[in-house]
Amino acid sequence: MKTRRMLWFFLTAASVVFASTDVWADEQDKSAGDAIVGKWWFPERNGQLEIRRENGQYVGTVIAYYDPNAIDDANPDPKLAKRKFVGIEMLSGFKYNPKKEHWAGGTVYDGKSGKTYRGTLWFKNDDTSKLFARGYARVSLVGRTETFVRVTK
């Protein structure tokens, strides 16, 4: 009877420790993943993108453009080609990978071509003022990397 109680106590205590460790690790991943949250200049500095966490994923929406009335005329879908460029979700579905310290699994919309590509986002050397984004069709080796600069006050 004592052995059974001790075993039950040990298993209960161990499960509490492991569960709290997982929650702590998830919280650490969220805070590290949130490093990309904020406003970013486009590579050409002609507009801005705001990245936020939404339902555990990171998305980015165009919040400013040099021509606020510009439309998404490069989009191959006639309905989408009539929408305003400001408000378009350019980044979607990115998840933070703490082991590789990058965001992956998402897509990048290229407003110049109207095409959507797979993508990866990362920082270099812990410099969170420049966000690197690589868009590619099938293989990461064949793609293009752009640099977004954080908007500062």
Domain boundaries, the chain: 36-150
pTM for the model: 0.79
Q: Would you say domain 36-150 falls under CATH 3.40.1360.10?
A: no
Tell me which of 15-19, 49-53, 104-108, 136-140 is least confident. Answer: 15-19
**pLDDT tens string 75-88:** 999 999 999 999 99
The DSSP code sequence of the chain is -HHHHHHHHHHHHHHHHHHHHHHHHHHHHHHHHGGG-EEEE-TTSSEEEEEEEETTEEEEEEEEESSTT-B-TT-SSTTGGGSBSTT-EEEEEEEEETTTTEEEEEEEEETTTTEEEEEEEEEETTEEEEEEEEEESS-TTSEEEEEEEE---
Percent of the chain with pLDDT over 90: 73
- Mean pLDDT (whole number) for 29-45: 91
Tens-digit pLDDT profile for residues 88-140: 999 999 999 999 999 999 999 999 999 999 999 999 999 999 999 999 997 77
